[in-house]
Amino acid sequence: MKIIMLGAPGAGKGTQAKMIAQSYKLPHISTGDIFRANIKEGTDLGKEAKTYMDEGKLVPDELTVRILLDRVAKGDCKDGYVLDGFPRTIPQAEVLEKELEKLGDKVDYAINVDVPDENIINRMSGRRACLKCGATYHIKHVPPKKEGICDVCGSELVLRDDDKPETVKKRLDVYHEQTQPLIEFYTKRDVLKTVNGNADPKDVFAAIKEILD
């Protein structure tokens, strides 16, 4: 079962990807993680990716797909995997599709975790982080015991720049322009399934489980 997770930043697709991976005993593959692993291990692919990253450039789609295919060729992926954070654009999806076809393979499900922009902005602007120990909170859903103070180490909690409404709005604009077209791309391939991401994460997962079972 090869699954791709789609959804806007902050829609909760990463959380759902982890829950799917755990429940179905599939590897959860995030492109960020495999880049870091290849660079750390000093593989040829990692060295190639690092030359782009060191210059502040985006790693080309072909190289990203090569690194990804190298990962999914490993033994733990024989029954499938959950892809999180890739593809992000139509060209990436086309390269991935072409390379999987060469292996006689294809994506089985593209799961779109759908949350309106307004809800995402409210959700993310409520996040608070402790820069000292890395603990995270949400002023409404997971508040600290004492307002503005970390339960773990007692440091002050902050609203990260990434979670500020204006930053979230910019990220959503990029998503709508570059990533949202994938919904149509995977609809045409008859593998897209959409779930309401506004619900409690457990309920969102129950809806996904119904699709996969």
3-state secondary structure the chain: CEEEEEECCCCCHHHHHHHHHHHHCCCEEEHHHHHHHHHHHCCHHHHHHHHHHHCCCCCCHHHHHHHHHHHHCCHHHCCCEEEECCCCCHHHHHHHHHHHHHCCCCCCEEEEEECCHHHHHHHHHCEEEECCCCCEEECCCECCCECCECCCCCCEEECCHHHCHHHHHHHHHHHHHHHCHHHHHHHHCCCEEEEECCCCHHHHHHHHHHHHC
Q: What tens digit of pLDDT does each residue of 57-80 get?
A: 888 888 898 899 999 889 999 899
Q: Which residues are part of the catalytic machinery?
A: 13, 88, 127, 160, 171
Residue 162's pLDDT band, with cuts at 50, 70 and 90, is confident
What pLDDT score was predicted for residue 169? 93
Residue 213's pLDDT band, with cuts at 50, 70 and 90, is very high
What pLDDT score was predicted for residue 61? 87
Overall average pLDDT of the 13-36 stretch: 92
What pLDDT score was predicted for residue 139? 92
The CATH architecture of the domain made up of 2-115+169-212 is 3-Layer(aba) Sandwich (3.40)
What pLDDT score was predicted for residue 36? 87
Q: What tens digit of pLDDT does each residue of 97-124 get?
A: 998 999 889 999 999 999 999 999 998 9
What pLDDT score was predicted for residue 52? 86
Residue 155 scores a pLDDT above 90: yes
What pLDDT score was predicted for residue 7? 95
The mean of the pLDDT values for the chain is 92
Residue 143 scores a pLDDT above 90: yes
Residue 33's pLDDT band, with cuts at 50, 70 and 90, is confident
